Structure 1
Amino acid sequence: MAVFPPGFPTTIPSPDRGVWYLGPIPIRAYALCIIAGIVVAVTWGERRLLARGGRPGTVLDVAVYAVPFGLVGGRLYHVATDWRTYFGPGGNAIDALKIWNGGLGIWGAIALGAVGAWIGCRRLGLPLPLFADAVAPGVVVAQAIGRLGNYFNQELYGGPTTLPWGLE
């Protein structure tokens, strides 16, 4: 067992809040993490696509399709995997539309985001494999950045641990 000096933080404390207010407008850390991930993916993907001979602005043009499709897919996946909350006893189906109350699933976001990217690539005459090769590293990093939002929401910690770097 490791011995730490007094006052040494042996755990990572959870944030006390994941939302700040700009007047009446809530600014959610989860949303900021998702947006930061999108910016990183688009910026990095753009650089990689340009290095492969692509036109400037192409990744952003495809993202106009991929991002909304991904958000819808993420919500659909959440609703499908937690359907009792919305359609079960005591549920309210209209709540399935209230995305601001939380609930996105990465697998749905990836699936429909890929469909959106395919549509964007077809409209631009860009081969999907070329595009996917350019954006893949950025998408993986974007997912990791977005996952930090779960930390602010105090969710998806994993299993209990007694390790010194465990979350409280």
Structure 2
Amino acid sequence: MLTYPDIDPIALQIGPVAIHWYGLMYAVGFLGGWWLGRMRARASWRPIRPEQMDDLVLFVAIGVIVGGRLGYMLFYGSAQLADDPLSLFRVWEGGMSFHGGLIGVLITVWLFARRIGRTFMEISDFVAPLVPIGLAAGRIGNFINGELWGAPTNLPWGMVYPPMGPTPRHPSQLYEFALEGVALFAILWWFSRRPRPTGAVAGMFLLGYGVFRFLVELVRLPDAHIGYLAWGWVTMGQVLTLPMIVAGVAFLAWTYRGGAARRVSSY
């Protein structure tokens, strides 16, 4: 049995200005994606040029933050939003929805692709292997914040989180770090190293993330004010993730059946 380390969510306090670990993890994710993207943009097929990564990261950051916060408040915190509309802007308190962020990123990627004269799917394939870096950093931020804990467990790595009592729990944030972050990054990096039909890498991302998130939701506690939606185990996260799995399978089937007219070069 492990005990949760008592980590101050504020990394640095300078007078009235507090820098939170949660915000720093987002910065790590964006900077890591920017650095890796510039490296990948130097490859021969170049869907974008390395210098265009600066603009792409800005577009994606806007999509993640605006979409993630709006998605969380609409999917999980509509009552809080109605009672306290200003809570929408208190991002440092936690409360970001991946699914809302994904919608935001899809919109901004579409806008960016139009701006540089590329197709939406070309840019989506380029961006997909970069996303797990941000996911991994975000899950570490959840762990530091002491949120999104798992259900009780007797496994030897069960972790006691004192505010929730003496019962060991699944460290579900670390599961998601390992699966949505490390494992998904490895899968997409390997998958995208060979020529693939346009749209296949994005499809693999949707499928991989969807499966990993669905599985972790089986041992992750749902938001207390929502609870389980059905049968004592179905969560909002699973409901929102299931369409990703279906879409990922559909994308891969479509691309490998010749729906994508053009193959791209190796990343």
For residues 94-150 of structure 1, give each alpha carbon's deviation from its aligned partner in whole angstroms, at most 9, with x where no partner exists: 333333443211110111112111111211223332222222112122211211100
Alignment match, 1:32: 24
Alignment match, 1:106: 98
CA apart distance, 1:68: 1.0
The one-letter code matched in structure 2 to 1:73 is: G
Contact residue 22 and residue 94 of structure 2 kept, 8 A: no
The question of 1:72 aligning with 2:62 is answered: no
Alignment match, 2:120: 128
1:43–1:127 distance in 2 versus 1, CA, 3 Å:
farther
Alignment match, 1:5: none
CA apart distance, 1:12: 5.0
Alignment match, 2:156: 164
Contact residue 66 and residue 104 of structure 2 kept, 8 A: yes
The one-letter code matched in structure 2 to 1:109 is: G
For residues 56-102 of structure 1, give each alpha carbon's deviation from its aligned partner in whole angstroms, at most 9, with x where no partner exists: 22222122222112211111111112111121xxx222333333443
TM-align CA RMSD:
1.8
Alignment match, 2:245: none
Tell me how far apart the structure 2 counterparts of residues 154 and 161 of structure 1 sit (CA, whole Å): 17
Tell me how far apart the structure 2 counterparts of residues 161 and 136 of structure 1 sit (CA, whole Å): 33
How many residue pairs get matched?
156
SS at match of 1:104: coil
Return the TM-score normalized by structure 2. 0.54
The one-letter code matched in structure 2 to 1:86 is: L
2:33 to 37, 41, 54: 41
CA apart distance, 1:28: 0.6
Greater length-normalized contact order (CA 8 Å, ≥ 6 residues apart): 1
1:146 to 114, 138, 150: 138
CA apart distance, 1:24: 2.1
Tell me how far apart the structure 1 counterparts of residues 52 and 35 of structure 2 sit (CA, whole Å): 11
CA apart distance, 1:33: 0.8
Alignment match, 2:81: 86
1:13 to 1, 4, 7: 4
Contact residue 42 and residue 135 of structure 1 kept, 8 A: no
Return the TM-score normalized by structure 1. 0.82
